[in-house]
């Protein structure tokens, strides 16, 4: 028996129920309470959510929360579940805090709804685990997080302009609960024009362009902008920052960009008390302690994944807990004869008689188009679970064109291929450190980054929040019906 909590973000309510099975065979939903509201997952009974933290998982019970993306119709399907492990995220946050050590602090990057995983629960988890700030890109994202009990500032990375004294962000700017990134002098002047009417200074971080050339001021203009921020009434300089172009793949380029940034910091000399210098995101944080400085910005790292070179990932990745898992099951299985083609465009033909399984997720759910094998390309692989549900039986290649709602996989190489029938559990992304279905490896097989894969998973895929005490290994007992 599992205790489940499903959040409908449009209604800001929680549904409670007792369930005995999940995606792979929902049989019982015993409602707790009477009030039923439309649009709630599974039509469960509900109670108001007061913002209090839900109880942590205990032995034999898993806390689960399913997030409905805001301002979207309730069109999630039950063909797959995307698990987000908050306990793993907390462990990863703590691991990075230990890596950098004081006085360096960590900022958790949760832009784009925490890469689609749910900005509010992820941000709460990161701050409770010790991160000192969280960062978003847009004003709207910051406003959404302000409704959560973070107790930490929110840093807006994008260039915020055209603020007015009545803007809903103003009280949080005055209190320091929201901080801004300044990219040029004209933006600073716009912020300063409204800052003088506030009871407290607006805290800003000056962004220096050391080579990315997508934001920030050129190095030649940086000293003037930094001095202006330190002297302007109503403005507090909380940080100096830059962003590396290739920290995960190019050590030489990263050193050169750091040198550009360091030269500017040295020219400024004494900075205001509390002003933090920061340049490193996840990859640079792992690459070299010299990049830690006053703060590091951790994005993909809290998911349990290190972007960039394999060697860089191996250096620290084993100390992290993979925090995401995407599960589905076979909807249909059929025989395909040698020479017969699969899917639109006949891009893949069987080189032998085989069995093909159909998984009911497609590009509308976030499966990359490049996942499918065709003549001349290998394709990504997904895990197929054993018939007893105790282990991974093997891996099956995605074949042919990825369709909107489904993919085909070649089951022919599985040792128990003749026994594979509809209903068998499969895993697209695994919460493991190795194998073709890790977040990193599945994304690489599709020719994209892990960030892009996560952010592309569609709103109709149900996100379920769980808390697990330890990372699941490939050999650990697998019980798909228990939704663990």
Catalytic residues: 344
Q: Are strands 392-399 and 13-19 parallel, antiparallel or unpaired?
A: unpaired
Question: How buried is 231 (Cβ within 10 angstroms: 0-12 exposed, 13-18 middle, 19+ buried)?
Answer: exposed
In DSSP terms, which residues pair with 373 in a beta bridge? 399
Which tokens hold the place of 100? 């950098």
Rounded to the nearest 5°, which phi and psi values hold at 127? -70, -35
Residues in the chain: 484
Specify whether the CB–CB gap between 316 and 257 falls below 8 A: no
Q: What single DSSP character describes residue 436?
A: T
Torsion over CA: 361, 61, 121, 92 (sign): negative
Q: Are strands 65-67 and 462-466 parallel, antiparallel or unpaired?
A: antiparallel
Specify whether the CB–CB gap between 320 and 287 falls below 8 A: no
Measured at the CA of 397, the angle between CA 391 and CA 399, to 5 degrees, comes to: 145
* 262-271 b/e (C-beta count within 10 Å ≥ 16 → b): bebbeebeeb
In DSSP terms, which residues pair with 357 in a beta bridge? 333, 409
Q: What is each CA distance from 153 to 103, 160, 165, 169, 190, in whole angstroms?
A: 17, 16, 20, 13, 21
- CB atoms inside a 10 Å sphere around CB 54: 17
Q: Are strands 381-385 and 392-399 parallel, antiparallel or unpaired?
A: antiparallel
Specify whether the CB–CB gap between 276 and 239 falls below 8 A: yes
Long-range contacts from 70-77, C-beta under 8 angstroms, 24+ separation: 70/9, 70/10, 70/144, 71/10, 72/10, 72/459, 74/8, 74/10, 74/39, 75/459, 75/460, 76/41, 76/459, 76/460, 76/461, 76/462, 77/360, 77/460, 77/461, 77/462
Q: For residue 152, is it left (φ>0), alpha (ψ between -120 and 50) or beta? A: beta
């Amino acid at each position: 028996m599992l205790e489940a909590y499903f959040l409908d973000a449009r209604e800001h309510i929680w549904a409670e129920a007792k369930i005995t099975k999940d995606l792979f065979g929902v049989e019982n939903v015993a409602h707790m309470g009477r009030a039923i509201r439309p649009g709630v997952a599974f039509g469960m009974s509900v109670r108001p959510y007061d913002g209090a933290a839900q109880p942590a998982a205990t032995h034999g019970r898993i806390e689960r929360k399913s997030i409905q993306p805001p301002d979207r119709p309730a069109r999630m399907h039950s063909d797959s579940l995307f698990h987000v492990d908050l306990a793993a995220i907390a462990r990863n946050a703590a691991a990075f805090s230990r890596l950098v050590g004081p006085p360096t602090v960590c900022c958790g990057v949760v832009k784009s709804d925490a890469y689609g995983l749910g900005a509010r629960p992820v941000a709460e988890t990161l701050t409770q685990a010790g991160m000192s700030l969280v960062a978003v890109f847009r004003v709207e994202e910051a406003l959404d997080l302000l409704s959560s009990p973070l107790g930490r500032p929110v840093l807006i990375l994008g260039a915020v302009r055209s603020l007015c004294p009545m803007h809903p962000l103003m009280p949080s700017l005055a209190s320091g609960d929201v901080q801004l990134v300044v990219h040029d002098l004209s933006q600073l002047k716009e912020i300063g024009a409204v800052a003088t009417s506030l009871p407290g200074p607006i805290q800003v971080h000056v962004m220096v362009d050391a080579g990315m050339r997508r934001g920030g001021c050129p190095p030649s203009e940086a000293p003037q902008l930094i001095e202006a921020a330190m002297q302007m009434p109503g403005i507090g300089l909380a940080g100096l920052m830059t962003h590396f172009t290739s920290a995960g793949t190019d050590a030489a380029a990263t050193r050169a960009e750091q040198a550009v940034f360091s030269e500017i910091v040295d020219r400024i000399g004494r900075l205001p008390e509390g002003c933090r210098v920061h340049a490193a995101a996840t990859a640079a944080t792992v690459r070299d302690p010299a990049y830690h400085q006053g703060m590091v910005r951790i994005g993909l790292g809290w998911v349990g994944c290190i972007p960039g070179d394999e060697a860089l990932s191996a250096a620290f990745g084993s100390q992290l807990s993979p925090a995401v898992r995407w599960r589905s099951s076979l909807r249909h299985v059929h025989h395909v004869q040698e020479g017969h083609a699969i899917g639109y465009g006949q891009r893949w033909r069987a080189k032998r008689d085989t069995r093909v399984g159909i998984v009911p997720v497609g590009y509308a759910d976030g499966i990359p188009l490049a996942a499918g094998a065709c003549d001349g390309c290998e394709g990504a692989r997904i895990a197929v679970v054993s018939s007893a549900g105790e282990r991974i039986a093997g891996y099956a290649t995605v074949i042919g064109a990825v369709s909107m709602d489904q993919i085909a996989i070649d089951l022919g190489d599985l040792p128990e291929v003749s026994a594979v029938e509809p209903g068998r559990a499969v895993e697209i992304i695994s919460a493991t450190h190795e194998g073709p279905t890790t977040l990193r490896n599945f994304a690489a097989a599709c020719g994209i980054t892990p960030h892009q894969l996560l952010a592309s998973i569609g709103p109709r895929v149900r996100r379920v929040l769980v808390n697990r005490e330890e990372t699941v290994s490939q050999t650990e007992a697998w019980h798909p019906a228990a939704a663990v």
